[in-house]
A and B are shown apart, each in its own frame.
Chain A
Amino acid sequence: MMIRATRRNVLLVLIFLSLALLLVGLGALTMGSVRLPLAEVWAGLCGARSEAQAVVIIREIRLPRILLAMLVGAALAVSGTGLQALLRNPLADPYVLGISSGAALGAIVAFWAGGRVAAASPLVAFLGAVLTMLWVYLLGRRAGRLASYTLLLAGVVTASFLSAVILFVLTLLSSRDVRGTAFWLMGDLSVVTDAQLRLLVPAVILAIAGLYWFAKDLNVLLLGEEEAAHLGVNVARVETAVYLLASLLTALAVSVSGAIGYLGLLVPHLGRMLVGNDHRMLLPTAALGGAIVLVLSDTLARTVVAPGELPVGAVTAVAGAPVFIYLLRRTTG
């Protein structure tokens, strides 16, 4: 599987994935619980009759949601790729270091507080994620720099502690609030405001670009910390930057969409099968792949039980676990 990808092949893969993303996005626009003919979808996308229902459904419900799915999918997949390299652990995913638990705790505390605080729950969730990220960073440092093993343990312990606190806060909520928060915890892309999207688009793109900056260093880091240092990589600086950027991506994703599972674990592996281990190719592949996978999953979530909806996190988990097992059997067997 580890064929060294030639530049031309990789370029082809990226062009193919970009086209696929475009197609999937357009396809998702045409699907939903309300049946809209293609002509109306097109009119809705570029039409002027802004009062028509089709226009509202396309522009205000489907389009923002698909954009959000692309951003969150890309963020989670790139974050997972970065963390797998940083921790040199193929099981690492965006949630392994407890950042999602921090965000979830923030959101739940916001729901619990109610009123204006509840309305600002994405902000509180982001705050929770960033605080967790800094806390794990402090715990994971040893002798002035990040130690991947210590970092992993610190993250796992923090995650399980925060999950315990979440369970405790859930017992304080009324049964109605518990149901609502449980759905949020399973991942949800249905509520996003224009203001959030306007912040999210540049933030996610900048963070992914930032990680890409270190792509070459990540390749060297895969050889081992000492070897990387011998080859002239400032290991401490790279590790800190990768940790912070990957965590930031997770924090951004989780605060607007809850904890959508499996994507950040699986897409990096799929990406490696496609383009190999070179992070200069793997990172963009993961970004596009994550976006495609989440748009597909959310389209399923929106349509399978229409007019009802499934939590998108349930879709990614139900589909993701078998795929992961399949990959595992294929690569080891």
Chain B
Amino acid sequence: MVGGLAFLTGQACWKKKLAVLSLLAALLAIVAVKASARQIIDQTGRRVNVPDRPQRLISLAPSITEVVYALGLGDRLVGDTDYCDFPPEARNKPHVGAMLNPSLERIVALKPDLVLGTADANRRQTADQLERLGVPLYGLRAHTVDETLHSIEDLGRILGREREAEGLVEQLRARIESVERRVAGQPRPKVLFVVWYRPLITAGPHTFIADVVAHAGGLSISNDLRGEWPRLSLEEVLRRAPDVILFPKTESFSPGLEEFARLPGWKELRAVQSHRMYFLSETIMRPSPRLVDALEELAGILHPAGGLGRRPTQ
């Protein structure tokens, strides 16, 4: 009863003042944060207000999640996508949905001070909508191995981890160069990368995959096609006679390799007859530090036993 009375008299007034004051303080704090933000042009050409020391990050792509963890900032990640599966801890972060259609309200509710996206996995509309909601989104673009390294350095700069990023990139670059040294001067096996076989879809010249294949000492047979994911006729594959056929390994859709030994046309391919068909881990499609693992794996496939470019066909 007493408390209730107090609420009606002076004490309530005091409380109200306190509330107003704290609101003001909060507003000031926000202004202060805003003041400490830099305006930066991101890799997709958008102008973004990036806070000086972002503390609450949301990643909108598995590759970015991996980079954030690799820079030792996993604990600052407050949200990621349903597809962020590496490192395993990333699975336990609150998810904001898929790359193409993340839940905006989930993102806002997690109160990030910076959202990280990529030009390939995310949509521009997501960035624009977040901007309207006052949430900055920094966009990265990584279409090649080199751009992947560059985007790691860029993220390091944005997140205040320049030194870690430089160290990481130096390591990765050393490994890439060692692969390049190993395959230099070797005959380049012809490679068919199968994105989908029903119908046959392969990777065009300006794709991430094509770049990784080139770095691993292979020669993609679809380098003269147009578009990112062109269809290729089977008879043309026969004429171009790939030495090695590669498939990305995904959880869905992985027909057994023995399937192909039964398909007309396919079964006549040298790569099928000599069993040079391989499933590659999906990291080959992911511009993250583990890309170099995929690169080393692929170089081992294309140039087994440290040099033999082509296994003799039976």
Chain A residues near B (Cβ < 8 Å): 32-34, 53, 56-57, 60-62, 64, 111-116, 118-119, 121, 171, 173-177, 179-180, 183-184, 188, 190-194, 302, 306-311
A-B pair number, CB within 8 angstroms: 123
Which residue from chain B places its CB closest to the CB of A32 in the assembled complex?
B235
Given A53-B239, A64-B264, also A306-B233 (CB < 8 A): yes
Interface size on B, residues (CB 8 A): 42
Q: Is the CB of B233 within 8 A of A179?
A: no
Q: Is the CB of A180 within 8 A of B238?
A: no
Q: Is the CB of B252 within 8 A of A309?
A: no
Given A119-B259, A193-B262, A307-B225, also A62-B235 (CB < 8 A): yes
B253's partner among A32, A111, A175, A310 (CB-CB below 8 A) is A111
Residues of A within 8 A of B199 (CB): 183-184, 188, 190-191, 309, 311
Q: Is the CB of A33 within 8 A of B198?
A: no
Residues of A within 8 A of B83 (CB): 174
In the complex, 20 of the A-B residue pairs with CB atoms within 8 angstroms, ordered by the A residue number, are A33-B235, A53-B238, A56-B268, A60-B264, A60-B267, A114-B250, A119-B255, A119-B256, A173-B252, A176-B196, A177-B250, A180-B196, A183-B231, A190-B200, A191-B263, A192-B264, A193-B264, A194-B264, A302-B233, A308-B233
Expressed in whole angstroms, the minimum distance between the Cβ of B262 and any Cβ of chain A is 7
Residues of A within 8 A of B201 (CB): 179-180, 183
- Per-residue interface assignment for chain B, residues 222 to 252, with 1 indicating a CB less than 8 Å from any chain A CB and 0 otherwise: 0011110111111110110000000010111
Please report whether the interface of chain A is mostly helix, strand, loop or mixed according to DSSP. Answer: helix
Which residue from chain A places its CB closest to the CB of B268 in the assembled complex?
A56
Q: Is the CB of B264 within 8 A of A308?
A: no
Chain B residues near A (Cβ < 8 Å): 83, 98-101, 195-201, 224-227, 229-236, 238-239, 248, 250-256, 259, 262-265, 267-268, 285
Q: Is the CB of B252 within 8 A of A112?
A: yes
Among the interface residues A113, A179, A191, A310, which one has the most CB atoms of the partner chain B within 10 A?
A191
Q: How far is the CA of A191 from the CA of B99 in the complex (A)?
A: 31
Q: How far is the CA of A177 from the CA of B285 in the complex (A)?
A: 14
Q: Is the CB of B232 within 8 A of A176?
A: no
Given A56-B268, A111-B253, A176-B248, also A308-B238 (CB < 8 A): no
Closest 8 A-B residue pairs measured CB to CB? A180-B196, A307-B236, A60-B264, A114-B252, A119-B255, A309-B231, A188-B199, A56-B268
Q: Is the CB of A180 within 8 A of B264?
A: no
Q: Is the CB of B253 within 8 A of A33?
A: no
B256's partner among A33, A116, A309 (CB-CB below 8 A) is A116
Q: How far is the CA of A164 from the CA of B234 in the complex (A)?
A: 33
Which residue from chain A places its CB closest to the CB of B260 in the assembled complex?
A119
Which residue from chain B places its CB closest to the CB of A188 in the assembled complex?
B199
Q: How far is the CA of A183 from the CA of B229 in the complex (A)?
A: 11
Q: Is the CB of A61 within 8 A of B265?
A: yes
Q: Is the CB of A180 within 8 A of B235?
A: no
